[in-house]
Amino acid sequence: MPNELLVGTRRIGDFYDTYKDTPEVKVTLERSEAGISVSVAWSHPQVPYAAWFMSDSTLLLATDPRPGRKPVPKRVLFHDSHGVVLLIRCWARGYHANIGGPGSGTLGARAAIMGVDEDREFDRPHGLQTEVSGLREWLGVTSWQERFDTVDGTSRFSLSSRGVETIDVGKHNGITLDFRPGWGTGAEPEPDRRVLLDLLRCTTRSVEPTDWDAHMQLHRAIRDLLVISRWRNESCVPVRALRKDDPMTTLDGKSHGEQWRTVVVPNDDREPAPKKYRPHLLHFEDLGPEGLGNWIALRNEFARALDPVITSIDLRNTTPSTRLAHTAPGVEALGYLLMIRDGIEVKRASRATLRARFERILADIGECLPFAGSAWADKAVATYNALKHANRDLPDDVDVMNSWADSVMVVRAWVALELGIPADVVRSRLADDKQPRNFAMVD
């Protein structure tokens, strides 16, 4: 078996942490639907591993004197006959133990770096690559060229790889962002099948080691732009990471440049391509690299408003009330933040009514919506207030869903206009937009 960590994998091997006084122990590395974890056992609570999981009071009951307590290490190494795995961003997920006796605990990991045989700070990488669903299609790039021709009455088809230039999106908060097209091949169990991959890696680089979440913030910003663009859930999966102190090294000990390591995360489900055509509200040709930079700045400035709206697409199998209760505070915050940007005093903006905040948003949107903005504001205010106040009758689920959907479209329209898309173009695209709306009662 190669050094892989597929769902359903259970491997038994050696365990190394960053503390010098912890004893050798055999552990179980597992990847399941619940995530990536390592299970470690101890024979008595004096073993240092026990202190990672058990509370102070439990340890005091179990042993005298109290052992030196150390926190859960952020990184641990696992090693077996198949290879080495570095687990990063670890935490104590749970344990089971007898007082004064044996026990076992489980460390959860937010990512695994494959093949790293020393403790490296991959939780603070110099580079990170993700695969964002829909990004290659949105950019309109491909690393393959198809050709059809006919020679002497015989049809021929050829497919050849080609180099495509990296798209540079610039530097943001000290981190450079670019999109790197490429191609690859995949293994198939049937000998008469070949899999060719058309890849697009969203890549961030920093001169100094930078926190994992700081890298991911830029990757998620690109994913969120695609969600806003055609209101479809998109995935953003880390696939490779880079540390400058982990170069590619041959058996003679010589270094041969940088090395991107394979990353495995608990949830690596990729969103499949839509079965039917879904037009975009925002086109890459509209924005270009400069416009993407403007989006990143806009998302940072209005995160309090945009986050609740964007993440509402993840609320599957929830009630209509949950969706609106999650989204409406973001729309309300958008109106407030626009007032602050206008120069209105904080106290005055804070006292503005919900209707006034919605009207402030509509002032920017004009006549771009495929419905009357004033009617949306009236209905959304009444519906949201009915949810918040227990002395009012609960609105119908259909009204709640329509208020939520229209509120989402209002924010999407505002983003498009803020990024410089002409109003007539926004109006035309929203008229043909595939975002679900106009919900009706089903008998």
Please check the confidence at residue 97 and state whether its pLDDT lies above 90.
Answer: no
pLDDT tens digits, residue range 412-440?
999 999 999 999 999 999 999 999 988 88
Question: 366 and 405 share a domain?
Answer: yes
Same-domain pairing of 139 and 256: yes
Task: Band the pLDDT of 203: cuts 50, 70, 90.
Answer: very high
Asked if residue 191 and residue 255 are part of one domain, the reply reads yes
**167/246 same-domain check:** yes
The answer to whether position 25 is within a domain reads: yes
Indicate if 182 and 248 belong to the same structural domain.
Answer: yes
Calculate the average pLDDT of the chain: 91
Between CA 315 and CA 312 the distance in angstroms is 5
Q: Let me know: does 176 contact 215? Beta carbons within 8 Å.
A: no
- On whether both 256 and 383 belong to a single domain, the answer is no
Is the pLDDT confidence value at 131 over 90? yes
On whether residue 379 sits in a domain, the answer given is yes
**pLDDT > 50? residue 103:** yes
349 part of a folded domain: yes
Res. 248: pLDDT tops 90: no
Q: Which of 18-27, 57-66, 269-278, 367-376 is predicted with the least confidence, judged by mean pLDDT?
A: 57-66
Residue-number span of the structural domain to which 315 is assigned: 302-431
Q: What is the pLDDT of residue 58?
A: 53
> Can you give the pLDDT at residue 442?
56
State whether 246 and 355 are in the same domain.
no
Q: pLDDT > 90: what percent of the chain?
A: 72
Q: Judge whether 216 lies within some domain.
A: yes
- Using CA atoms, how far apart are residues 27 and 11, in angstroms rounded to an integer? 8
**293-313: average pLDDT:** 97
Residues 101 and 189 in one domain: no
Structural domain ending residue among the three candidates 114, 142, 157: 114
Is there a single domain that holds both residue 320 and residue 203? no
The reported pLDDT for the residue numbered 22 is 84
| Residue 33, pLDDT score | 93
Q: 56 pLDDT exceeds 60? A: no
441, part of any domain: no
Please tell me the pTM assigned to this model: 0.91
> 259 and 310: one domain?
no
pLDDT band for position 47 (cuts 50, 70, 90): confident
pLDDT of residue 63: 47
Report the distance separating Cα 114 and Cα 88, nearest Å.
11
Domain end call among 83, 114, 145: 114
- Shared-domain flag, residues 146 and 259: yes
Residue with tokens 């007032």: 339
- How many domains are there within the chain? 3
Segment 370-390 shows an average pLDDT of 93
pLDDT at 65: 45
Q: Is residue 295 situated within a structural domain? A: no
Does pLDDT of 165 surpass 90? yes
CA atoms within 13 A on the CB side of 48: 16
Give the C-alpha distances (Å, rounded to integers) separating 78 from 8, 424, 428: 17, 58, 55
Mean pLDDT to the nearest integer, 141-150: 89
Q: Is the pLDDT of residue 1 over 70?
A: no
Q: Are residues 164 and 239 in the same domain?
A: yes
Total residue length of the chain? 443
Residue at a domain's end among 88, 114, 140:
114
Residue 16 forms part of a structural domain: yes
Burial class (CB in 10 A: 0-12, 13-18, 19+), 335: buried
Torsion angle in degrees (nearest 10) through CA of 203, 205, 210, 215: -20
| Inside any domain, residue 256 | yes
Q: What is the DSSP string of 256-318?
A: -S--EEEEE-S--PPPPPPSS----SS-HHHHHHHHHHHHHHHHHHTHHHHHHHHHGGG-TT-
Q: How far apart are CA 414 and CA 431, in angstroms?
A: 15
CA dist 52 and 111 (Å) reads 19
Q: What average pLDDT does range 173-201 have in this prediction?
A: 88
